[in-house]
Amino acid sequence: MSFINGQDNIQTFSKPFLNESESTNEIKTSESNESNVEKAILVGLETYRGKVIDGRSQGERSLEELEELAVTAGVLVVHKVLQRRHAEDAAYYIGKGMVEHLSSLCQELHADVLIFDDELTGAQIRNIEDITGVKVVDRTTLILDIFAQRARSKEGKIQVELAQLKYRLPRLTGMGGQLSRLGGGIGTRGPGEKKLEADRRHIRRRISYLEKELKELDKRRNLIRKGRSRNLMPVIALVGYTNAGKSTLMNKLCGADVFAEDKLFATLDPTTRCLALPDGRKSLLVDTVGFIRKLPHELVEAFKSTLEETVYADMLIHVVDASSEEAQEQIAVVDELLQSLGALNKPVILALNKMDIAGDHARVLAAGSGERVFEISALTGQGLDRLVDGIAEIMPADEVNVVVFAPYDAGWIIPYIHENGKVLAQEFTDSGVKVNALLKTSKIERIGDYII
């Protein structure tokens, strides 16, 4: 780790397992073996150190997470730079002097791209590219790119494209107003619309089309939810930080084959499987997209219909990577996002995953997390029986068995039961219909006079 003294406190460091000479040797090897892989320098800015965990400040830990994102996106990280200064520079984010230093690093290390650990403005991206001569990508663009790679379903692909376009629209660069020929007055008559304006118009038109497509898909999702409600099957949503092990847990609990990989955002599309509880009830287990620090606002908006699975669920299982030193911070990130979605007004189970490799800090985490905590390992199966028993105990019994006599002159009763419950048997008599049904407890009061 090397330090550069100057007006701003600048800290630069290579990948943790390399020293400077080893880094250069690996780059030369990579040039011959992975000529098609983009080489990146990661850049972070720390205006305050935040909470220090395992000797690493908040900025250092965030930069390490950015490296995981870059690797997931298929980029070769050749260097990492962390700068500490009092405030972000409005024009160059990290200051013009530091950008010039990065320009030299890019030439020395043959880097193709600079990846910044924050969201940049269009002006900042343009200014940095002008000096360095290499492509500039911010954290949001990187996450959107990973989502674009991972999306498989039609809905997922539309959501990702919509988020990308909404993020790109205000960042289109060019000569702006100087290129416009659509105004009035001297100097505005000419060839008409220019490329920048045509691009903006095309993007707005595409955004409008994608939003309509998502609304149609959202209608289908709502019909599916209504179907679940009619079948009286409780829904349990798996939530958690990305790479906490949600998909692995679903595979283990349900005997499913959901794609799982030790990478960030391995799965994006929500997957639903049936989970049999020990008391004979059946429930639906829904795997949702993982959360992360600085999750782009555009993604939250685009994936709102998917994330609403957590809102409509009867219970949440918050899966936590207990082996991570940052588990407490990751819990806070997930809780904050769930709170913003209005999804915390229901039973929540905290599943401390990866206990087979977790250290002593996981025990401290469990001790301070309340009663609904289960220590598990989705990989080895440790603690899963206790988790399923806990789900059955906590899951609210939302239906009761009732026998209703519906007179023929009260024709609304039978449709009401079908809408809010499940008919098990019915018998027609001279004066009405005798129905044996499972009915939601909250819907019994209205037909109380007809229960026998």
Same domain, 200 and 294: no
Same domain, 94 and 202: no
> In this structure, is residue 108 part of a structural domain?
yes
* H or E element that contains 424: strand 421-428
Q: What CATH number is attached to the domain comprising 98?
A: 3.40.50.11060
pLDDT of residue 386: 93
Same domain, 242 and 204: no
Per-residue pLDDT tens digits for 356-377: 888 766 665 655 555 689 999 9
Higher-scoring residue by pLDDT: 361, 172: 172
Dihedral sign computed on CA atoms, order 284, 290, 293, 295: negative
pLDDT band at 54 (very low <50, low <70, confident <90, very high): confident
Same domain, 242 and 386: yes
Same domain, 375 and 253: yes
Residue ending a domain, among 350, 372, 394, is 394
> By three-state DSSP, how is residue 401 classified?
strand
Same domain, 241 and 278: yes
Per-residue pLDDT tens digits for 296-334: 777 777 777 667 778 888 899 999 999 888 888 899 999
Per-residue pLDDT tens digits for 216-229: 888 887 777 666 66
pLDDT of residue 8: 47
pLDDT of residue 362: 63
pLDDT of residue 62: 92
290 touches 147 (CB < 8 A): no
Same domain, 245 and 380: yes
* Residue corresponding to tokens 């390399």: 18
Same domain, 255 and 374: yes
Give the range among 154-163, 251-260, 264-273, 390-399 with minimum mean pLDDT. Answer: 264-273
In this structure, the number of other CB atoms found within 10 A of the CB of residue 241 comes to 24
- Give dist(CA 245, CA 239) in Å, integer: 10
> In this structure, is residue 159 part of a structural domain?
yes
DSSP 448: G
Burial environment of residue 303 by CB neighbours within 10 A (0 to 12, 13 to 18, 19 or more): buried
Residue ending a domain, among 146, 161, 177, is 146
Same domain, 408 and 273: no
Containing domain of residue 406, as a range? 399-450
> In this structure, is residue 380 part of a structural domain?
yes
pLDDT of residue 184: 45
pLDDT of residue 271: 82
Same domain, 390 and 403: no
> In this structure, is residue 225 part of a structural domain?
no
Tell me the backbone φ, ψ of residue 85, rounded to 5 degrees: -150, 170
* H or E element that contains 159: helix 154-168
> In this structure, is residue 222 part of a structural domain?
no
Q: What is the mean pLDDT of residues 110-122?
A: 94
Q: Among the ranges 4-18, 97-111, 285-299, which has the highest mean pLDDT value?
A: 97-111
> By three-state DSSP, how is residue 416 classified?
helix
> In this structure, is residue 226 part of a structural domain?
no
* Residue corresponding to tokens 């990846």: 115
pLDDT band at 28 (very low <50, low <70, confident <90, very high): very low
Q: What is the mean pLDDT of residues 384-412?
A: 86
Q: What CATH number is attached to the domain comprising 294?
A: 3.40.50.300
Over the chain, what is the mean pLDDT? 80
Tell me the two tokens of residue 418. 């079908």
Residue ending a domain, among 353, 368, 394, is 394
Same domain, 238 and 370: yes
Same domain, 280 and 202: no
> In this structure, is residue 228 part of a structural domain?
no
> In this structure, is residue 442 part of a structural domain?
yes
pLDDT of residue 159: 87
Higher-scoring residue by pLDDT: 373, 30: 373
Q: What is the number of domains present in the chain?
A: 4
pLDDT of residue 2: 31
